[in-house]
Amino acid sequence: MIAVVLPTLDTPDALHRVLAELPAGMLAIVVDDGSREPIHSIRRDTCIVRHEENRGYGGAQKSGYAAALAAGASRIVLLHGDGQYDTPATLALAEELGGVEAALGSRFLADPSVIPSWRRFGNRALTGLANLRFGGAFTDLHSGARAFRAETLRSLPLDSFSDDFLFDQQVLVALIRRGASLVERPVGTRYDTTTRSISFRRSMQYGVGCVRVILG
């Protein structure tokens, strides 16, 4: 079974559009990370995990992955509930898991011109540092479109990772350090007023944290 974990915060309209794109029979696990108005699903095969208080992006993923594993999912996809990442392309990452432990969506293999210039620069710099440190050839280690085998997630100390955005980098660096098999595939993205992205200031803090994780 494929489970799709959808962290969401105060973007109900976008979430409903994303849910409408999911194929029937695919389990959607919506993690409502403290939205002002509680989320109500318009779709069958949906589980809603509600945080009464915001626990952060990493905290939302931890709850979502725990629910997916408890439900018996064998493949787990991370898809943002605000519609930032192309839904069909993100779901297709699950099809890559026959021969690898995780599949990563790359915005740079799709259309990087839609990414704000300062984000492109920071992403390339941090991904380049990781490639230099670990001998990789990745194009985008900071995408929020990902798919994992269930056993891959079980093997990681997820509860010890950050509850904030740094969680994503800690997951990938842990996998890269142990020599896990990873593959990248193109996944389109969009940045507009309906999607949620961290501010420039928080991006700088995230960047410093990533450097520490990579070099640690």
pLDDT in tens, 124-158: 999 999 999 999 999 999 999 999 999 999 999 99
Break the chain into its structural domains and give their ranges: 2-215
Average pLDDT score, the chain: 92
Q: Is the separation of the CB atoms in 68 and 121 below 8 Å? A: no
- Residue 118's pLDDT band, with cuts at 50, 70 and 90, is confident
Query: Which of 125-129, 180-184, 199-203 has the weakest average pLDDT?
Result: 199-203
Sheet holding 2-8, edge to edge: 46-51, 27-33, 2-8, 75-78, 146-149, 102-106, 182-186
Phi and psi torsions of 183, nearest 5°: -135, 150
Chain-centroid distance, C-alpha 169: 10
Write down how long the chain is: 216
Average pLDDT over residues 69-91: 96
CATH of 2-215, one of 3.90.550.10, 3.40.50.1820, 3.30.565.10, 3.40.50.10420: 3.90.550.10
Cα–Cα distance for residue pair 24/99, rounded to 1 Å: 25
- The 8-class DSSP code of residue 26 comes to P
Query: Residue 200: is its pLDDT beyond 70?
Result: no
Q: Is the separation of the CB atoms in 187 and 147 below 8 Å? A: no
- Residue 215's pLDDT band, with cuts at 50, 70 and 90, is very high
Give me the sign of the Cα torsion angle 66, 68, 73, 79.
negative
Average pLDDT over residues 11-23: 92
What is the chain's alpha carbon radius of gyration, rounded to the nearest angstrom? 16
Average pLDDT over residues 82-96: 96
Chain-centroid distance, C-alpha 187: 12
Residue closest to 9 by CA, chosen among 29, 30, 33 = 33
Q: Is the separation of the CB atoms in 146 and 103 below 8 Å? A: yes
Which residue blocks in the chain are alpha helix, DSSP H?
A: 12-21, 57-70, 87-91, 117-134, 150-154, 166-177, 200-215
Could you tell me what percent of the chain has a pLDDT over 70? 95
Query: Residue 176: is its pLDDT beyond 80?
Result: yes
Average pLDDT over residues 54-74: 97
- The 8-class DSSP code of residue 102 comes to E
pLDDT of residue 193: 56
Cα–Cα distance for residue pair 128/9, rounded to 1 Å: 31
